[in-house]
Amino acid sequence: MTTPAGYTRTQIALHWIAALLILQQYLFKDAMSAAWEAFGDGLETAFDPLVLAHVAGGGLVLLFALWRLAIRRQRGAPAIVGESAVQRMLATLTHLGLYALMILMPVSGSVAWFGGVEAAAQGHSLLKIALLALVALHVAGALWHQFVLKDGLIARMRRAEG
Ligand code: HEM
Ligand code: HEM
C-alpha cells in the first residue's frame, strides 16, 4: 500500500467533529452523572436533552472512530513526522490510545447505561481521565510541531491532500 501525502476531507471532517463531540461530553457530563445517580437510587427522572446528547454524541464518536479506522485500513494515513524515532513512536502510541478510548468510552458507557452495570460506570469514569490525558498530550504535541518545530503539521488536519 502506498503512503498517501495527506488526509482526505472525510478524515479531516471526522477528526474535528469527533473532537467537538468529545468536548461536549466533558462540558455537559453533570446531567449524565445525575441521571446515573438517580437510576442507582431507583428514582424516576424527567427527560433531559443533555442525557440524550451524551448517549447520542458518544455513539457518534464510536461510529466515527470505526469509520476512520476503516478508511485508514483501506487507503492508509500519511507518514508520522517527528524529530526522532522516540517522538514518532510517542505520536503513534498516542493516536493508537486515542482510537482505543474513542471505542472504549462509548462501549463502557453503553454497558453501564443500557445494562445497568455499576462496574462499567466505574471503568467509564477511570477511562475519562486517560482520554483527557491523551488529548492533552496530543494537543501539546500538535502545538510543539506548530510553534517549536515549525513544520506546519496542523495544516495536515486542515487541508485535504493526496
Ligand atoms: C467518547 C464518548 C464518551 C465520553 C468522552 C464520555 C465522557 C463522560 C464523562 C466525562 C462522564 C462523567 C464521569 C464522572 O464525572 O465521573 C461520563 C459519565 C457517564 N457516561 Fe459517558 N462518555 C462517553 C460516551 C458515553 C455513552 C455512549 C454512554 C451511554 C450510552 C455513556 C454513559 C455514561 C454514564 C451512565 C455516565 C455516569 C457514570 C458515573 O457518573 O459514574 N457515556 N461520561
Ligand atoms: C478530543 C480531541 C481529539 C482527538 C480524540 C484526536 C484524535 C486524533 C487521532 C486519532 C489522530 C490520528 C489520525 C490518523 O492518523 O488516523 C489525530 C491526528 C491529528 N490531530 Fe487530533 N484529536 C483531537 C484533537 C485535536 C486538536 C485540538 C488538535 C489541534 C491542536 C489536533 C490536531 C491533530 C493533528 C495536526 C493531527 C495529524 C497528525 C499527523 O498528521 O501526524 N487534534 N487526532
In this predicted model, what pLDDT tens digit does every residue of 49-92 receive, in sequence order?
999 999 999 999 999 999 999 999 999 899 999 889 999 999 99
Per-residue pLDDT band for 1 (boundaries 50, 70, 90) equals low
CA 97, distance to chain mean position in Å, is 9
Per-residue pLDDT band for 162 (boundaries 50, 70, 90) equals low
**Three cell numbers at 133?**
490525558
16-27: average pLDDT: 98
How far are the Cα atoms of 13, 56, 117, 140 from residue 159, in angstroms, in the given order? 10, 28, 42, 20
In ligand 1, the atom with minimum distance to the C-alpha of 113 is 35
Neighbour-count burial of 74, counting CB atoms closer than 10 A to its CB (0-12 exposed, 13-18 middle, 19+ buried): exposed
In ligand 1, the atom with minimum distance to the C-alpha of 114 is 30
* Rg (the chain; Cα; Å): 18
Domain 9-157 fold is: Fumarate Reductase Cytochrome B subunit (1.20.950)
Q: How are the residues of the chain apportioned to helix, strand and coil, as percentages rounded to the nearest 5?
A: 80, 0, 20
**Which pLDDT does position 159 carry in this prediction?**
95
Of 7-11, 106-110, 149-153, the poorest mean pLDDT is in 149-153
Give 29 Cα–ligand 1 centroid separation in angstroms. Answer: 7
**Three cell numbers at 143?**
502545538
Give 15 Cα–ligand 2 centroid separation in angstroms. Answer: 7
Residue 120, number of CB atoms within 10 A of its CB: 18
Enumerate residues 6+ apart whose C-beta is below 8 A from 32: 50, 51, 54
**Which pLDDT does position 8 carry in this prediction?**
96
How far are the Cα atoms of 18, 114, 127, 141, 150 from residue 55, in angstroms, in the given order? 14, 10, 16, 30, 39
Give 138 Cα–ligand 2 centroid separation in angstroms. Answer: 7
pLDDT digit string, tens, across residues 38-54:
999 999 889 999 999 99
pLDDT digit string, tens, across residues 109-143:
999 999 999 999 999 999 999 999 999 999 999 99
Residue ranges covered by each domain of the chain = 9-157
Give 41 Cα–ligand 2 centroid separation in angstroms. Answer: 39
**Which pLDDT does position 3 carry in this prediction?**
87
For ligand 2, atom 28, which residue shows the shortest CA distance?
Answer: 139
For ligand 2, atom 42, which residue shows the shortest CA distance?
Answer: 139
